[in-house]
Amino acid sequence: MLCPKWCAFTLKWAGLSAPHLSVRDFGPAGAACQGAAITQAEPLVLDQNIHPVVIANDDGTLDRIWSSALPYEWWPHTLEDLQIVVCLGPEVEADIETCLYTKGTQITRYQMERSIRLLEAHSGREIASGVVNGIPARRCEEVESQGMQKFRGQAVTVEDVQTWIQPYITGLQP
């Protein structure tokens, strides 16, 4: 069991971090990403202000580090409190633009992205899906150094995921 709300408040006030989500306690939640319903989880309550959430990978493994980086208020205290599972696909490079230069030289700009699905933990029903993008690669200049072939953007961060899921966690979208 995680520390109670008063404990987390005390830890934050003291400048310490709250304990990480336990794979032992929340590991089964990742199975939702592979189509399993987590029947012991609470059904989604639409009039609730916060919908407790964990982050898992599409392969069904709980991402406890990213889950623990979410605001404490979003954490489930037990598997039974869990309402939403975020499922993230692997990070991939997506072409943004190919810049053409003299003598046939080209540079491709990439943006890192991950597919995302929000599932109701209890039923496995999909709530939303889409793509989370990292910061895109810089723009091509009129003149670039020889030998450049690609510009890669920044990796998708937990903050990018948090921004994408926030409307669903803090006041469920219709």
Token output for 158: 């937990």
pTM over 0.85: no
Q: How far is residue 156's CA from residue 134's CA, in Å, rounded to a whole number?
A: 4
What's the rounded Cα separation, in Å, for the pair 49 and 133? 26
The total number of residues shown for the chain amounts to 174
Supply the pLDDT for residue 84. Answer: 94
Q: What is the pLDDT of residues 74-87, one digit of tens each?
A: 988 888 999 999 99
pLDDT at position 171 is 75
**Continuous H helices in 5-104:** 5-13, 23-26, 64-69
- 114-162 tens-digit pLDDT: 999 999 999 999 999 999 999 998 988 888 777 778 889 999 999 999 9
Sort 57 into a burial class: Cβ within 10 Å, 0-12 / 13-18 / 19+.
middle
Decide if 33 contacts 114 (C-beta within 8 A): no
Position 118, amino acid? L
Alpha-carbon gap, residue 27 to 138, rounded angstroms: 38
